[in-house]
Chains A and B, each alone.
Chain A
Amino acid sequence: MKKLKGWKNIPIGGLILEAGNAKDYITGSWRTFRPVKLREKCTNCLICFIYCPDCSIKVKKDKMEGFDYNHCKGCGICANVCPFGAIEMRNENEYQ
């Protein structure tokens, strides 16, 4: 565990002074099921990108490039909204 600061050395009131630090919080560890892209079915419609509540769909040049597994919590919304059945939810046990 990293060393935590004492009460005299943190901003008061729970304030966080740096912007964009949510990326340091690895919420991917909460996941039970992992979304997996089925390359042959994906049409790059990017509906998954629009729906993902955690911005964990990686997109490059209008193409769906996979998932940010550091932050995907495995909610399964992407698999649910995909019109082509191109995302499968698989048990994390398979990847341990």
Chain B
Amino acid sequence: MVKKQNKLLPLTGNEAVANAMRQINPDVVAVFPITPQTAIAQAFAQFVADGDVDTELVRVESEHSAMSCVVGAAAAGARSMTATSSAGLALMWEILYVASSTRLPIVMPVVNRALSAPINIHCDHSDSMGARDAGWLQLYSEDGQEAYDNVILALKIAEDKDVLLPAMVCLDGFITSHSVEAVQLLDDRTVRRFIGAYKPAHPLLNVQKPVTVGPLDFFDYYFEHKRQQIEGMENVFKVYKKAANELSKLTNRKYPLFEEYKTKDAEYIIIALNSTCGTAKAVVDEMRKQKKKVGLLKIRLFRPFPKKEIAKAIEKANVVAVLDRSASFGSDGPVFLEVANAIHDMKKKPILAPYLYGLGGREIGMAHIRQVFEELPKVAREKKTPAVKYINLREK
């Protein structure tokens, strides 16, 4: 139940995420600063200092160490979290795979920021998109409220015995992380009841039942262990639906695999993720007033990717524009590739139009999105996927 005392609070996206962590009250949190994530670590450190949580806060010397620390803590049997951005995520690379392969349900907010070089602190999705094959769940968040909800939801899914995989909760650097919006927090007890106690099956600290974690695994069993990981990801869909329904009852907000915004009768659909979806919704509202049949499909769960459901959701559209905020140099953007894969064996399918936008925080406004929608009837007439278009890029 949403109680009366759950008032709206003015919080930045980072503060909303830090509050979700406070309510989760993890056993161990490793912190290392990197813009624009730093404010999460800072706010959480304040909760520790104020005695609001029982967490062991570990101040590590790098993100490689932060991820190593939470891997060790999680294997020991502790509920463990950290947070990062950009180059920090890149430095964690090796250990991201250790976390997922060792089946440790670590939840990590990732505040999306461009990768160097040239150095840039602003938003794009090249950090988390690069880590999409690391075996982590990925949830994307349009605003601070969704980021808060996603952290709690991700923890519930990650720790399920049929999943046991780590999860990233992504939110846009600065746009979401540093903007103050109205966020409604659940009360602490409700969150704690929802997530329950963490009961790892084989914690290292149980000296009565010693186990070996992370042994050598050659051509005899490695492949079998990878197959198990694939199964764990497949299991996410059913676990997600159950957890999402349960959380929905507490918040009165909905958590579909992806959000369909006025897409039911839409001839032209934009697919995007994170904060750009808020802008796109405003454009859809405007154009709907002018009787234009347009809609937005907002991806929430990117790993695992709900391809059957997304294919079905867009099958009646004429053209679907896929907006990628990260480049896959030498190929199409990661979101485009997923959508193209999702529809490839459908008999009747929409034409896809790839777009690249917003690298290094390049502005995307309502006018840009309106322009995308206005280009799509021409794509429909030409009946083939056009070359990638760059939004708000100077050609000369």
Which residues of chain A have a CB within 8 Å of any CB of chain B?
Answer: 4-7, 10-17, 19
Instruction: Compute how far the CA of A5 lies from the CA of B212 in the bound complex, rounded to whole angstroms.
Output: 18
Interface presence of B211 (CB below 8 A): yes
- From B106-114, B218-226, B320-328, the one touching the partner chain is B218-226
Residue pairs across A and B with Cβ atoms less than 8 A apart, 21 shown, are: A6-B224, A7-B227, A10-B225, A10-B228, A11-B202, A12-B228, A13-B104, A13-B164, A13-B213, A14-B102, A14-B213, A14-B214, A14-B215, A15-B202, A15-B211, A15-B212, A15-B213, A16-B211, A16-B215, A19-B210, A19-B212
In the assembly, what is the distance between CA of A14 and CA of B164, in Å?
Answer: 13
**Which A residues lie within 8 Å of B164 (CB)?**
12-13
| Partner of B232 from A5, A11, A12, A17 at Cβ < 8 Å | A12
B210 to chain A, nearest CB (A): 4
Closest residue of B by beta carbon distance from A17? B211
Q: In whole angstroms, how far apart are the Cα atoms of A6 and B224 in the complex?
A: 7
Residue of B nearest to A11 (CB): B202
> In the complex, A6→B217 CA distance in Å?
14
Minimum CB–CB distance from A9 to chain B (whole Å) comes to 9
Chain B: minimal CB distance from A18 (Å): 8
* Interchain CB contact (< 8 A) of B103 among A4, A12, A19: A12
Q: Indicate whether A14 sits within 8 Å of B211 (C-beta atoms), given known contacts A4-B221, A7-B224.
A: no
Q: Does B12 contact A (CB under 8 A)?
A: no
- Closest chain A CB from B217 CB (angstroms): 5
- Which residues of B have CB within 8 Å of A14? 101-102, 213-215, 217, 221, 225
Query: Once the chains bind, are A12 and B225 in contact (CB under 8 Å)?
Result: yes
Instruction: Among A5, A6, A13, A19, point to the contact of B102 (Cβ < 8 A).
Output: A13
Contact A10 to B224, CB < 8 A, known contacts A15-B202, A17-B202: yes
Binary contact readout B222-250 vs A (1 if CB under 8 angstroms, 0 otherwise): 01110110011000000000000000000
Max chain B Cβ within 10 angstroms of own Cβ: one of A4, A5, A7, A13: A13
Q: In the assembly, what is the distance between CA of A15 and CA of B104, in Å?
A: 12
A10 to chain B, nearest CB (A): 6
**Quick one: closest B residue to A21, CB to CB?**
B212
Known: A13-B103, A14-B102, A14-B217. A7 touches B212 (CB 8 A): no
In angstroms, Cα B216 to Cα A45, docked, is 35
Our pick among B103, B212, B221, B231 for the contact of A10 (Cβ within 8 Å) is B221
For the complex of A and B, 3 pairs with smallest distance between CB atoms: A13-B103, A16-B212, A7-B224
- A61 smallest CB distance to B (angstroms): 29
Shortest Cβ gap from B278 to chain A (Å):
38
Which residue of the partner chain, among B101, B210, B220, contacts A13 with CB atoms under 8 Å?
B101
Contact A7-B211, Cβ < 8 Å, known A12-B164, A13-B103, A14-B102: no
Residue of A nearest to B161 (CB): A12
Closest residue of chain B to A16 (Cβ to Cβ) is B212
Docked complex Cα distance between A19 and B204 (Å)? 12
Between B202, B217, B224, the greatest number of chain A beta carbons within 10 A of the residue's beta carbon is seen for: B224
From residue A55, how far is it (CB to closest CB) to chain B in Å?
17
